[in-house]
Chains A and B, each alone.
Chain A
């Protein structure tokens, strides 16, 4: 589409584009060089600052913290998908006493910040006598509550965008309403909404980092801990670089898996062509 926005460049435009390209490259290089220079001048690349990451114990701790992040992500992702399907079916129900509360819950959970939700679970409930709430449960339940309600809207939009013939055909061969939803509509809705669902899963993966604030032992929490070790020169920036790169790699792996899955599904029986415009929520 972007090529519609401008003509095929002629000799003059090509020359101008080349100049602009060179300027862009120079500006980007200048920014990167400035950052690297500041890092180097403040001694972020010295061996002393990175020494702490050479210890096997530290490396093992980092790997186990990646495991903690992935564990919270896996639990929250599965929970959010199930909760989302449940809420979506509830909202699509013909009975007002089911669909109204489901609508209310979806709207309410979407409006409360995830962090506040986690704090309510972690700090708010124990004084009331609710014991056994670990940072892990608070992170997972908080993420399920929010992302489940976002995914519910995604599923609902996907189901409502399907041609009504699908539902009618299902009813015509004698399936019950629940069977039509489960066997006919949901699989097609999931397939057409897959990009949005995956984008929301990436959001879940990123939001596990909120566990840092309620003391869940994940990547960022460990990075911050190592960064504050004064006897190793407080390597805050090296630790944050390790954490940042780890998150980017994890998210790219997840997106890559999503692309592969989409490609696999597209080869299958004819895929649904309708994709309603719904975007993932940050």
Chain B
């Protein structure tokens, strides 16, 4: 308990940055993922191809490599300088977006064919039948997989600790400098993650699942 209370500043800063990383990356990944999923089912072959190539490339690369690219490689390109937190948000968003896109695409496939046919029958073009008829239903049925993607994202934010972002994963290194036992600090971090994942995100998932259940 002492390790936590004596270093409360470290834990609050760490988990605050974890929260920032999580919220920003989740928002960007959700937007980008939806766009990519729409591209992958669109009538334009070039868009389908672009979406497929993006998803297959990024999904087959470790998150650590992607973060290394933005944190260590990007500064070498002499572009607008970005700080490590921004680099981590960009990397996490690009990586998570591919998982969001795949989840939503599988959700689109669960919407009964009759829905899409009805949308076409009343003359809706592709974009309108997607945004007004298909996606609202698809989002409801992908709540469970989407939440597993976001739970994975929350845990993945710890990888940014390897690239100079002071978040939950970096608490250990800072504790060691203060001469605190590494194990106790790490167990506290693990415990807080367990509470966040099981207590907060899983509860939210159940809430949304019940609230947005598709009535058929």
Contact = CB atoms under 8 A, between A and B. Distances in A.
* Co-assembled chains A and B: yes
Interface of A: 1-2, 4-7, 9, 13, 17, 20-22, 24-25, 28, 38-39, 41-42, 44, 107-108, 110-117, 119-120, 123-125, 127-128, 202, 206-210, 212-213, 220, 224, 227, 234, 236-237, 240, 243-244, 247-248, 251-252, 255, 277, 279, 281-282
Contacts of A116: 158, 168-169, 186, 189-190, 193
Interface string B42-83: 011111101000000101111111001100110011110000
Contacts of B172: 119, 123
Contacts of B197: 110-111
Contacts of A39: 77
A120 B186 contact: yes
A201 B151 CA distance: 19
Nearest to A28: B50
A213 B159 contact: yes
Interface residues of B, number: 70
A21 B169 contact: no
A110 B151 CA distance: 10
Interface of chain A: mostly helix, strand, loop or mixed? helix
B73 A236 contact: yes
B8 interface: no
A213 B64 contact: yes
Nearest to B103: A279
Contact of B120 (A7, A44, A207, A237): A7
A4 B116 contact: yes
Given A20-B44, A116-B186, A119-B186, A244 B99 contact: no
